[in-house]
Amino acid sequence: MKIEEVVTGLLDENCYVLKKGDTCLVVDPGDDYPKIKELVGDSKVLGVLLTHSHFDHIGALRNFLTKRNVKIFKKSSTSEKSYEVGDFSFQVIYTPGHSSDSISFYFPDDKVMFVGDFIFKEGVGRCDLPTGSEDEMKESLNKLKEFNSDIKLYPGHGENTTLDYEKSHNPWLS
């Protein structure tokens, strides 16, 4: 799987385009559709994966809603289980804390996880916003600790990291 990243909006949100062959998935379409569309290119968009519904992560969503056969994966319409979309296989993991609708997308074949604002390099997402919860964040972090350490984490803002690095350097995971 090829992973391309574009930073969008005033809050420098990371949007990811995941490609296999001539198809793709879009993770967290921020608010700059032309930039995202450029990354998508001629690929057919099979789905949009939303880690949560904060404005900086869904600004260009409306541009994908008009496309036929594009599935939207978000907590309110997605169960915590495995999915197959085209050639893509991933698991939805509920990871509330930053927001009550926070979910992460784990691609076990590629050992990558898209975590939105759940966890960042050496930190976690704010829990003091509406529907945020430090208690839920702690439970979600405990769930994350159960995964193999060699997973690469793709956050909604900032640098990519690994679970191994976070287990050693992130005070929230110690």
CATH code of the domain made up of 2-173: 3.60.15.10
- The pLDDT-based confidence of 43 (bands split at 50, 70, 90) is very high
- How confident is the model at residue 78, as a pLDDT? 87
Instruction: Determine contact, residues 151/53, Cβ cutoff 8 Å.
Output: no
pTM for this one? 0.96
| Backbone φ and ψ of 24, nearest 5° | -155, 165
| pLDDT, tens digit (0-9, with 9 covering 90-100), for 112-137 | 999 999 999 999 999 999 999 999 99
With CA atoms as reference, report the closest residue to 172 among 130, 148, 131, 136: 136
- The pLDDT-based confidence of 65 (bands split at 50, 70, 90) is confident
| Backbone φ and ψ of 119, nearest 5° | -140, 140
With CA atoms as reference, report the closest residue to 45 among 62, 66, 23: 23
Strand order in the sheet with 112-116: 82-85, 88-94, 103-107, 112-116, 152-155, 161-162
- List Cα–Cα distances, 59 to 29, 52, 157, in angstroms: 6, 12, 15
Domain boundaries, the chain: 2-173
